[in-house]
Structure 1
């Protein structure tokens, strides 16, 4: 018995692909075309949320262990209670939501340079967005984190010079592989000293990186902060059948 015509088979395949992949948001920005999409990962039978800037993948909900550990490792080094925290880079919200799990956090400013990313959360297009945006401790700020870090006014638009207990940063791929050339100055002695000026005494700076620990960057941290440590965070990678690793730097 003959099967369905090729055209019908092609339409059915496209329908299945459409069901597995959905573009939730798409915008042209000065930095390129940014998009948020949801796809079904058949191997794990889960929905995966991905962010692309032009053709470059920025983040995926498949691998968020290190982004969560960025908050946990950074806040573990803070002292006292009633913590005021800055998160640089909203992304899928993993670091920010993990920070809110610490009951000592009384306020959190999340800085992102893309209005579209903030809009995704405010429209609750992402899982867990409710927990983030509806928490009274959270304030989403549309701004350039690196310009704020370099300024005297700092990270709170309503309180110039305000200092914080922790700054948790996840924007660039690594201190060497930055998303925009303007970011490079931050990863220098002068840039890190300016960042330190926005921290309270015993404040903590924590940074996510996609590369293994960088000895040169650790030397920079040691030249500015009293102590620093590079934590290697490993996680299962079903794509390779093995494990992958990110680095979380913590300096105080």
Structure 2
């Protein structure tokens, strides 16, 4: 492989071929950039992590008290999970990921943040479908305690509330299924979700059918490919008492 590009791993998955790549772009400095592709589609890049980290910081800032039990839906390259663990109030973090390949990259430390997650005893990988666990009243995010309620659920799986990683995920975005997920939160628990798009009024209205308070945050970051700013958004919702 070229010193500027390496395909670290490529595996079949239920969603198609998923691959992990490392590249260097001299114009962007002396650093490795990690990318994940699903088929021909780019899923994520370590060049742009501000919004994934903001999902944790904004979501957890809305949570009161300590200690905290928190769920992260979607492992990715680990940035949301690592940002969450910087909050010392967290006593346990359950990172739910449907693809064993992605969990394997972290456990085998093929991605940089795997070492951090593996070394933190508060972190627990859960191999399962976030959406199945979220909407099944008999299932739970903690494999050892299906009835456990959580202080926060942080979700970063689909591209947006209307653009899905998998068409089967569309059914989650309803009052009924969001309500089933909210039932797994404690009183005044927080649900936060990342989106690649600006806040969508229709989705905000849907969230308000389930949650007592809904706020939308625009996260801006520099995009060197566009020589300017790009934006993502984070929805932060609080359950009633």
> What residue number does 1:30 align with?
14
Q: Distance in 2 between matches of 1:100 and 1:205?
A: 17
Alignment coverage as a number of residue pairs: 236
> What residue number does 1:53 align with?
38
Q: Distance in 1 between matches of 2:108 and 2:199?
A: 37
> What residue number does 1:247 align with?
233
Q: Distance in 1 between matches of 2:66 and 2:40?
A: 43
Q: TM-score, normalised by structure 1?
A: 0.92
Matched, 1:211 2:172: no
Q: Distance in 2 between matches of 1:161 and 1:245?
A: 37
| Aligned partner (choices 182, 185, 193) of residue 196 of structure 1 | 182
User: Do 2:77 and 2:113's aligned partners in 1 also have CA atoms closer than 8 Å?
Assistant: no
Q: TM-score, normalised by structure 2?
A: 0.96
1:31 Cα deviation from its structure 2 partner: 1.0
Q: Distance in 1 between matches of 2:178 and 2:25?
A: 40
User: Do 2:199 and 2:216's aligned partners in 1 also have CA atoms closer than 8 Å?
Assistant: yes
1:130 Cα deviation from its structure 2 partner: 1.1
In terms of Rg, which structure is larger? 1
Q: Distance in 1 between matches of 2:14 and 2:170?
A: 19
Q: Distance in 2 between matches of 1:99 and 1:202?
A: 18
Which portions of structure 1, spanning 4 or more consecutive aligned residues, are displaced by more than 6 angstroms? none
Partner of 2:222: helix, strand, or coil?
strand
1:66 Cα deviation from its structure 2 partner: 0.2
1:44 Cα deviation from its structure 2 partner: 1.0
Matched, 1:163 2:149: yes
Give RMSD over aligned pairs.
0.8
Query: Could you list the per-position Cα deviations for residues 119-166 of structure 1 after superposition, in whole angstroms to 9, with x for gaps in the alignment?
Result: 000000111211111100000010000000011122111111211000
| Aligned partner (choices 218, 224, 243) of residue 210 of structure 2 | 224
Q: Distance in 1 between matches of 2:106 and 2:233?
A: 26
Q: Distance in 2 between matches of 1:141 and 1:94?
A: 16
Gaps of 5+ in 2: none
- 1:1-252, aligned counterparts within 5 Å? 18-45=2-29, 46-152=31-137, 153-252=139-238
User: Do 2:97 and 2:103's aligned partners in 1 also have CA atoms closer than 8 Å?
Assistant: yes
Q: Distance in 1 between matches of 2:5 and 2:33?
A: 9
Gaps of 5+ in 1: 1-14
